[in-house]
Amino acid sequence: MVVYEVRVSLLEIEPEVWRRVRVPGDARLNEVHIVLQMVMGWTNSHQHEFVGADRKRYGSAEEHALLPGALNERQYWLSSLISEPGDKCLYIYDFGDEWAHEIVLEAIVGLEAPDQPVWCLGGQGACPPEDCGGVPGYFDLLEQLRDSDAEGHQEAVELYGEDFDPEAFDCTVFNQSVTGGRSRNGEMMNPEEVEEQMRLLAELQDFLHSDELPESTMSLFMLDGFFAALAIHPVTLMPNQWLPYVWDISGAGQQPGFISKAQVEKGLGLMLSYMNSVVDHLSESSDDYLPLFEFMQIESEEERMKLSMDWAVGFMVGATIDKHVWERTFGDEEGADLLIPFIVMSGFLDEKKGVDPVKKAELRKELIDEMGDYVLDMQEYWAPMRRDFLAGRSLARAAKAQPRVGRNDPCPCGSGKKFKQCCGK
């Protein structure tokens, strides 16, 4: 296999932020986008574009934001932009903050097993936090963290922590994700499985951000929490029951304005595929589970906390979707105790008077690393209810399937009389 060794550098940043990464030479640009998001430490929360030396631009058609002249990145390869050592191109992420990455092809190498075709070979510098204001905003943030007398120092420390190190980077995090890393139920994943999972996540993210969906549509992380709750919920819910909450998490009933049947089918297909993957990860034999904000291995503590709260909001929407189950669970002391971590993380009690904001923030920091275990605890608690539901549904099906006894047929009670003269009176 022929692979490219490229150096990816964030432009205009001090201290330097760069990665040296190996990718297949025949990788499509949408696949390179996924690799760059992971190796840099971004969260794929914004739009992006590649720009070649000839100034041709390539972006995601799923985002409905291709400017005039831009090309669909799925139809082009990395080799379309760089093909000889020394060739360069740009990767722009987040059109607001406008993080510009320079990609330089350093070497073309023939690879043999057991070397991995996607691999981080080196790097330096932490990924800047999302939505911090681009390069100028990041410089201001670093100054606020360094200077205890600077305006905004306390807020910056609360958001990013006193130990935020702008020079920190470890290749191990990325490399464990692409080979020998854990799946979300603790099993080992090969590179192809990781690539397929990341592709599904990227396509689903693009769909959830499409113009046809209302602003109240769940985010990707909310959807992950929502599906986690539905996967372990005692009652099996059909798409027509849970889809309205995806389109409008507020419950106001807003609906998407799809422009074609194909778009509907594609979007629903992506969601159902992702829901099935969550269900698989939370099979009853699982003894480990990683929420999406853990699986993505997000470096920024502030961003990780924000996404974990989004995830918990989605979980709570799923947990409360059936009134009977919610009242039975919350009305039980053990059930209520098991729900507390999700309630705290989701902010459902944030408006309640008497809740100390400082203690609340500290509690969330303690809870965030254990949310996967709390899901498994909730699954164990709900398991008997789910078995009762499934048994009840089986009995209902059996009763429905029972053949109808005619009035002149022998009575099924065994009396020897006709049904109309016995139990059919």
- pLDDT for 397: 42
Distance, CA of 287 to CA of 146 (rounded, Å): 42
Distance, CA of 371 to CA of 345 (rounded, Å): 9
pLDDT at 349 over 60: yes
pLDDT at 413 over 80: no
At which residue do the structure tokens 């829901």 appear?
A: 275
Long-range contacts of 112-117 (CB under 8 A, 24+ apart): 112/1, 116/22, 116/175, 116/178, 116/179, 116/191, 117/1, 117/3, 117/22, 117/23, 117/24, 117/191
pLDDT at 295 over 70: yes
Task: Give the residue-averaged pLDDT of 243-265.
Answer: 84
pTM equals 0.58
Ranges assigned E (strand) in 15-133: 18-24, 48-51, 57-59, 71-72, 88-93, 99-110, 119-124
Q: Which of 55-64, 252-261, 307-316 has the lowest mean pLDDT?
A: 55-64
With pLDDT > 90 as the criterion, what percentage of the chain qualifies?
42
- pLDDT for 45: 81
Q: Which of 46-60, 66-80, 121-135, 229-243 has the lowest mean pLDDT?
A: 66-80
pLDDT at 423 over 50: yes
For the chain, helix (H) and strand (E) counts, in that order, are: 14, 8
Task: Give the residue-averaged pLDDT of 332-356.
Answer: 84
- pLDDT for 161: 76
Computed over every residue of the chain, the mean pLDDT equals 83
- pLDDT for 147: 86
- pLDDT for 418: 62
Say how many C-beta atoms besides its own lie within 10 A of residue 164's C-beta.
19
The DSSP secondary-structure symbol of 242 reads H
Beta strand 71-72 pairing with 48-51: unpaired
Q: pLDDT per residue over 174-192, tens digit each?
A: 887 665 444 555 554 555 5
CATH no. for 2-178: 3.10.290.30
Domain ranges of the chain: 2-178, 191-384
Task: Give the residue-averaged pLDDT of 342-355.
Answer: 78
pLDDT band at 420 (very low <50, low <70, confident <90, very high): low
* Residue 19 in tokens: 């990665």
Q: pLDDT per residue over 93-109, tens digit each?
A: 999 999 999 999 999 99
191-384: in CATH 1.20.120: yes
Beta strand 57-59 pairing with 71-72: parallel
Q: How far is CA 298 from CA 84, 133, 382, in A?
A: 33, 19, 30
Q: Name, of 113-122, 218-227, 396-405, the range with top average pLDDT.
A: 218-227
- pLDDT for 395: 41
Q: Name, of 106-115, 166-175, 258-267, 324-333, the range with top average pLDDT.
A: 324-333
Q: Which of 59-63, 282-286, 299-303, 335-339 has the lowest mean pLDDT?
A: 282-286
pLDDT band at 398 (very low <50, low <70, confident <90, very high): very low
First-to-last alpha carbon distance for the chain, in angstroms, is 80
Task: Give the residue-averaged pLDDT of 130-139.
Answer: 92
User: What contacts 23, CB < 8 A, 6 or more positions away?
Assistant: 3, 4, 6, 32, 35, 78, 117, 118
pLDDT at 237 over 90: no
